[in-house]
């Protein structure tokens, strides 16, 4: 697990396309993301290539807030807590807050961010951010998830099942 490299861009694009849920950006944008936002993004790699990724950036108006742009895990690697581990990797970089927007039908992201906040004993605020009238086509509203403040020294609490 580590920062993305330029050559990872095509795999980020492929994995995003295959989710059929995430908004697919141009292949060019994923390559540039790997160059310009490598410090605030993460790729999980295995012997057969990229298994998953999170792209993010520090908000210019709030530098201690990491905004998560996309979270995607290759279908073969889902159900193994990979997204949660990648998010933990990024949270360990010193950010105090994590933000993301989630559409109401994206249950996987809702579960990820809810569990992440719970396991770290952090607050999770959900509020409407972007209404569907702002988007072309049939795009759902985006709800802002804001987690924090994150205590970098706090132990991670896991629920026993």
DSSP, collapsed to helix, strand or coil, labels residue 30 as: helix
**Domain spanning 6-147: which CATH class is it, in words?**
alpha beta
Q: What pLDDT sits at residue 160?
A: 35
Sign of the dihedral through C-alpha 52, 5, 65, 88? positive
More confident position, 66 or 138:
66
Question: What is the Cα–Cα distance from 121 to 33, expressed in whole angstroms?
Answer: 31
Q: What pLDDT sits at residue 68?
A: 97
**Summary mean pLDDT of the chain:** 91
Q: Average pLDDT of 119-144?
A: 92
Other beta carbons less than 10 A from residue 129's beta carbon: 15
The pLDDT tens digits of the residues spanning 109-118 come to: 999 999 999 9
DSSP, collapsed to helix, strand or coil, labels residue 93 as: coil
pTM of structure: 0.89
Q: Average pLDDT of 138-143?
A: 89
Beta carbons within 8 Å of 34's beta carbon, 6+ residues apart: 4, 5, 6, 7, 8, 9, 12, 41
Q: Average pLDDT of 137-146?
A: 91
Q: Average pLDDT of 12-26?
A: 93
Q: List the single range of 40-44, 105-109, 146-150, 157-161 with lowest mean pLDDT.
A: 157-161
Residue 57 has pLDDT above 90, yes or no: yes
Sign of the dihedral through C-alpha 142, 148, 153, 154? negative
Report which DSSP code applies to 74: -
Residue 70 has pLDDT above 50, yes or no: yes
């Amino acid at each position: 697990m580590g920062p993305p490299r330029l050559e990872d861009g095509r795999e980020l694009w492929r994995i995003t396309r295959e989710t059929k849920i995430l908004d697919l950006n141009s292949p060019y944008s994923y390559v540039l993301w790997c160059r310009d936002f490598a410090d605030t993004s993460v790729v999980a790699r295995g012997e057969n290539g990229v298994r998953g990724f999170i792209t993010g950036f520090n908000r210019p108006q709030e530098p201690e807030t990491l905004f998560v742009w996309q979270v995607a895990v290759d279908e073969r690697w889902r159900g193994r807590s990979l997204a949660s581990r990648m998010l933990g990797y990024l949270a360990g970089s010193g950010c105090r807050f994590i933000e993301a927007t989630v559409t109401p039908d994206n249950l996987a992201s809702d579960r990820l961010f809810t569990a992440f906040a719970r396991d770290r004993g952090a607050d999770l605020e959900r509020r409407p951010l972007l209404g569907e009238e702002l988007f072309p086509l049939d795009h759902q509203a985006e709800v802002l998830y804001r987690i924090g403040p994150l205590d970098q020294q706090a132990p991670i609490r896991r629920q026993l099942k």
